Structure 1
Amino acid sequence: MKQLISYAVAALSLVATQAAAAPVTYYIQSEPYETVSNFTACPLGGCTVKYAKSNRISGSITLVAPLGSNLTDEDIDLQIHSFSISDGQNTYTDAQFFVDVFAQSARVSTDSAGNLTSFEFKFDKTHGTPYGEASYADSKAKVSYIWISSAPSPGAAVAASNSTCQFRGDNVNGNTNGAGCMMAYDTDSQGASSASTTGVTMSLTPPPAPTPVPTLSEWAMILLGVLLTGAAALNLHRRRQTA
């Protein structure tokens, strides 16, 4: 009997250990964009993205295991298992990771229980190798990116497409091979589009689905219902007066 109990305890311990090491997914969502600047000219081509204020940054990042406790601005790009993040026009996924998408920044802080207290992520999409920089005339200097940060509260989110990279460099772990862009010009006359907003969350809980906006036909049905209700009420009122 004691041996069976020992086996049971060992099995439960193994299950608990595996559960603790299981991948964990964080969901990202920003507020709709507050400012939008779309390209006004396109000297080198590649100008396909135009942002709208109804767009936002959203998606998810899955880590290979839960975050540790008491992390302080820890670089966790090596812990990224998969991701899919959209800026409303472009989507960045792990299928492109280390091919033409690089994590220039992937930093978090946690409390004593491993709960996320702050974060900063920046994913860059390059436009060709070798990677040029600081030249509007070099198509390989072009870069698109998504950047989110929880600081200062309530955080900020920025998306850009077809910007010109001014300065490239590795992240802390040196995993971008110089492909990441540390500073970019988002100039609309040179083909760049950009958008930004304040307010972004990164949580273990999926964000609520957006409330659908009624279509024109739905509005017509609503209006018809209101008119029918009003007509019925008016007819009832007249009947009472003649009774």
Structure 2
Amino acid sequence: MADTPTSSEATLSESMPRHVAIIMDGNGRWAAERGLPRALGHRSGVEAVRRTVKAATDLKIPYLTLYSFSSENWSRPKDEIDDLMGLMKRFIRRDLADLHQNNVRVKVIGERETIEPEMRALIEETCELTRENTGLTLIIAFNYGARGEITRAARWLAEEVAAGRLAPGDITPERLSGALDTGGLPDPDVLIRTSGECRISNFLLWQCAYTEFVFLDAYWPDFGHEMLVEAISQYKARERRFGGLPCLSTA
């Protein structure tokens, strides 16, 4: 049965965001408040991912980026990392066919060279299988850190200059943007973070120059269609000026 539109959703119009990015935070605290192990919080977080991908598809949002695992997360206890890697692999194996059938294109951003071979092969298989799909583009930030991303882009541009293929004056904001992991993708219109934390934690630093931020008190395992609609409603209530002046009535 199709979801019944909520009153908040009924107010959404043609000014929907083109690109929504989400920092999925609070799995561990969600579990701790219920007396459950952290691993169960992460498992419930995967269910929230499934709900959110469906919600984004239903709302016809073209691009959805999810911060699944940061380059700093490797400092967590080994058993938690092993569980997170296992969840990622199971998500790919279980959901890939459905994502492909639903015309979802999957793109993974982040450092791949240091990922173990099985995970890297799964990521490459997923991206290749869905590469020509034309529905929702689902961007998974895995082993991702924005400072590392910008450093890799700057290093590549420096190598191009050193090889004589670029002049220093050819390096523009647009060229640097194209050298990032997200090259060719639009910048996020709105970034949502769950769990009540009000920071972006090394996520899409370049791309979020003019992004609207929405911070929700709810933990990620409770996120879904209704909260996505709520966050978008907050975004739509704001006036995006991109450094200009507010629009003045001529009446």
Same topology, TM > 0.5: no
> Which structure has more RCO (C-alpha within 8 Å, separation ≥ 6)?
2
TM-score (norm 1): 0.25
Q: Which has the higher strand share?
A: 1
Q: Which has the higher helix share?
A: 2
Q: Whose radius of gyration is greater, 1 or 2?
A: 1
